Amino acid sequence: MPRDIKRPNFSATWTFFDGKWQEGNVAIMGARTHGSWLGSTIFDGARTFEGVSPDLDLHMQRINASARSFGLLLLVSDDEWLDLAREGIARFASGNALYIRPMYWAENGASGGGVKHDPESTNWCMCIYEAPMPEPGNLSVTLSPFRRPNRETAPVDAKAGCLYPNNARALAEAGARGFGNCLMPDMLGNISELANANIFMVKDGIVFTPAPNGTFLNGITRRRVIALLRGAGLTVSEATLTYADFQSADEIFSSGNFSKVMPVTRIDDRGLQPGPVYRKARQLYWDFAHAGV
């Protein structure tokens, strides 16, 4: 029987689909669309805030890199994605914090149906919407019982929508235990990332972050933070890290497109202060983002 479904009150949104900009959360899939049914969706996410859009070009390049590795057609060039993003940003008031999301997906399964998607049925859109930048606050983390897959078990070399339910259940499990996020191990038990961001720790003045090993996305913001810290004279080591390493860290902070650089203030029962390296990383990133303004 029909029932009332709680539907979100979406923030201001513009979607480019079927050759035109349309206002709101435009319907782009049906019940038989392969992307909605069997998960053949990929996306990327960029940010505009305080009048700047750091690394926008890299995010528009990565959506096509993801499509290529996932086996979808590249229907929009890197430059076309970039032009569309700028068009969409201009539809909002200057200075608004926005999330910029290009997407590809398959409409059909191969041979008219089935699990394998048909690359020739690739479709696409770009969705841009208002999303305030989170402020640094209190973030607690713990060890997740769930693990990040490797390439032999999931399409981890693409920013694919099908990867995120595993992250969501990790967040839900950690939340049920009173934590805001969790460190997720890889298949060997070493730490890969948070459930929704890349992770850094500091010990004795040296910055450590998990070495990319094919189990997590080597984030654009992650790579930018590493380069900025190294450029400022800090030692950054990409290494194999255990949960015990994080438990004994002097500082822990995250990087990611949505929130950029954020401090972790508790791991299990141990409190942490936002430290000097985190503060430097955040300031360096903000300075970089505004350098071209």
Neighbours of 156 (CB within 10 A): 21
Rounded CA gap, 192 and 213, in Å? Answer: 8
Domain annotation for the chain: domains and CATH numbers: 13-130 (3.30.470.10), 140-290 (3.20.10.10)
Report, as an integer, the average pLDDT of 90-105: 97
The rounded distance, in Å, linking the Cα atoms of 91 and 278 is: 34
- Between CA 203 and CA 131 the distance in angstroms is 34
Cβ neighbours, 10 Å, residue 44: 25
State which amino acid sits at residue 222.
R
pLDDT, averaged across the chain: 96
Calculate mean pLDDT across residues 237-253.
Answer: 98
| pLDDT mean over 262-285 | 98
User: Predicted confidence band at 38 (pLDDT cuts at 50, 70, 90)?
Assistant: very high
- Please give the DSSP secondary-structure letter assigned to residue 52: B
The pLDDT score that the predictor gives to residue 236 is: 98
- Round to whole Å and give the CA distance between 187 and 56: 32
DSSP string, 100-161: EEEEEEESSBGGGSSSSB-GGGEEEEEEEEE-PPPPP---EEEE-SS----TTTS-TTS-BG
Give the percent of the chain with pLDDT over 70: 98
> Is the alpha carbon torsion for 62, 70, 212, 167 positive or negative?
positive
How far apart CA 259 and CA 255 sit, in angstroms, is 7
Question: What number is the average pLDDT over the span 1-30?
Answer: 90
Q: Are 249 and 204 in contact (CB under 8 A)?
A: no
Q: Which residues pair with 15 in a beta bridge?
A: 22, 127
Neighbours of 62 (CB within 10 A): 24
pLDDT tens per residue, range 177-224: 999 999 999 999 999 999 999 999 999 999 999 999 999 999 999 999
Query: What's the pLDDT at 234?
Result: 98
Picking from 201, 207, 223, the residue whose alpha carbon sits closest to that of residue 285 is 223
pLDDT tens across 69-93, in order? 999 999 999 999 999 999 999 999 9
Res 10 pLDDT > 90? yes
Q: Residues 247, 186: contact at Cβ < 8 Å?
A: no
| Helix H or strand E encompassing 64 | helix 56-70
Crossing angle between the packed helical segments 276-290 and 220-231, to the nearest 10 degrees: 110
